Structures are given as C-alpha cells and as structure tokens.
Amino acid sequence: MPLLSIEEITKEYDGIRALDRVSLKVKRGSIKGLIGPNGAGKSTLFHLISGVEKPGSGKIYFREREITSMESHEISALGIGRTFQTLQVWGNMTVVENIMAGMNRRLKGSLFSYGLWLPWIRRSEKEALKEAKEILDSLGLLGKWESIASQLPYGKQKLLELGRALAMKPELLLLDEPASGLTLTEMRQLSERILQIRQEGVTIFIVEHHMGMVMEIADEIAVLHNGELIAEGTPDAVRRNPEVIEAYLTRRSPN
C-alpha cells in the first residue's frame, strides 16, 4: 500500500478551481516530485495534505488512515513534516533553538516537571541538543548553531527550516521549493542530503522549480497544470510527455 493516497481532491477559491479532482499516490520509501508551471496548484495540494487548508471534496489518506479533516498539529503528530514555499523560521531564536523547537512533540515531560528541572529532564535536554547539533552538522550549519536565525542568509534559513522539519522525525516529508535561494553548491549539497534522508527511511514528496534537481533525485514525478494532474511517471517519461512540454510553454501566472 502507498504511504500517502490522494483521491479526487478538489479545492476552490472564490469559484476558481485551484485543484480539480486530483488523485495520486506516494510510495513508501520513495522520492516523488511534484512539478508544474506557476499557479498549477502545487503549494495548494501541500496545504491540503498538511491540514493548513481543507479541500472542497475528495479524501486524503496517510498510512491508510483518512486525514482529510484533521488539523495540522494532528497530522504533524502522525508523522508528516513539511517546509513552506514562503520561509518560516523563528528569526528571534537561535539556529539550534529552531531545530529543538521541531522536537517539541517528541520531548517527554510536562510544564510542571520542567519547572522542577528533574534529572531525567536534564538528560532529555542534553540528548535533544546533541541531536540538534547532528542535524545542523548534516546541513552544514553547525558553525552557526548559536547565531540568531534572522542573521543567516536566505539560503541558509531555507536549510534551517528543513532541519527543523527533520527534527520532528517525520515518516513523510513535504518539501515546498527547498532549493529556492540556494547557490549551485548548496543545491548539490541539498540533493545529496535529500537522498540521504530517503536512505534513512523517510519518504519525500517535493515541489521544486529547479527541474534538473528534481529530475535527478525523484523516482517518480507528478505534473499539475491549471489544477489538473496531466502526467505521472518516471522522470524520463515525464520529460518526453507532450502535455508536459506544452504546459511549460504556456503563459505562466503567479502561484
């Protein structure tokens, strides 16, 4: 069975269909790319999967459990993490604090026990800090762990957001344009890291405008155009699909 199943999802805004009866599946252990011109509905689909918004009709299943009407925090607790197209980091917190914030749902203890600063709470904090530093090291950010997040260059903040999502230990990771703002060197490093994340057992669903990157790392690609799924298959098959070629030649509008 697939890890994620989307069945006949429709979403409208003021009578305009952003998604029109979209159905697709994401296989467990795979990297699936989601591409399409600006305004195709890619980020909208991610918002529906993660519970930020609700569909007008259709159903979404994660591990065969319907999550269509769940709230975002409930979906996150099930094991779905994500990054956003629009950068979302806590700029007034340090880099390592941003990572540790992603661990909140996994850390044990109540506010009362933290107030008492019990020995097992101290151990938990030390273990969380160690894990956070390991995540930062894997992203090339360890040297900035005490820096204020807002002081990092934009591309580094994008990597920090990825690190915070990884701190949740998700089973499914939704990446919404993670390479935006990165240099070519950073993009190559990101590709390597995404492949490593998959090897660690995380299934990845990625929206990305850098076609070379997504074609290189994805096992399978789905293509949206004007809210409709127009193609799905291997990168080679999608690259040669006439409808996909035509879609990228049409006028592009803001997403």
Tell me whether residue 176 is in a domain: no
Q: According to the model, what pLDDT value does residue 250 have? A: 60
Distance separating alpha carbons of residues 118 and 120, to the nearest angstrom: 6
**Over the stretch 192-234, which tens digit does the pLDDT of each residue have?**
999 999 999 999 999 998 888 999 999 999 999 999 999 999 9
Q: According to the model, what pLDDT value does residue 249 have? A: 66
Q: Do 11 and 56 meet the contact criterion of CB atoms below 8 Å apart?
A: yes
Q: Judge if 50 and 100 occupy the same domain.
A: no
Tokens of 186: 């950073």
Tell me whether residue 142 is in a domain: yes
For residue 20, the SS3 value is strand
Of 210, 172, 170, 171, the closest CA to residue 190 belongs to 210
End residue of a domain, out of 170, 193, 218: 170
- Which pLDDT band holds residue 106 (cuts at 50, 70, 90)? low
In single-letter form, the type of residue at position 15 comes to: G
Tell me whether residue 17 is in a domain: no
For residue 74, pLDDT over 70 is answered with yes
Q: Judge if 148 and 106 occupy the same domain.
A: yes
Tell me whether residue 123 is in a domain: yes
Number of domains in the chain: 2
Cα separations (Å) of 180 from 154, 177, 198, 228, 236?
Answer: 9, 6, 20, 24, 24
Of 67, 53, 49, the closest CA to residue 12 belongs to 53
Tell me whether residue 201 is in a domain: no
Q: What sign results for the dihedral spanned by CA atoms 195, 146, 93, 183? A: negative
Tell me whether residue 165 is in a domain: yes
Of 203, 206, 245, 211, the closest CA to residue 225 belongs to 245
Tell me whether residue 204 is in a domain: no
For residue 88, pLDDT over 80 is answered with no
What is the mean predicted confidence (pLDDT) over 80-93? 81
The number of C-alpha atoms within 13 Å of 161 and in the hemisphere containing its C-beta is 25
Q: According to the model, what pLDDT value does residue 113 have? A: 42
Q: What share of the chain is helix, strand, coil (3-state, %, to 5)?
A: 40, 25, 35
End residue of a domain, out of 155, 170, 185: 170
Q: According to the model, what pLDDT value does residue 116 have? A: 43
**Domain that includes residue 45, residue range:** 27-63+230-255
Strand extents, DSSP E, the chain: 4-13, 16-26, 31-35, 57-62, 65-66, 80-82, 172-176, 203-207, 220-225, 228-233
Q: Judge if 166 and 96 occupy the same domain.
A: yes
Higher pLDDT, 113 or 33: 33
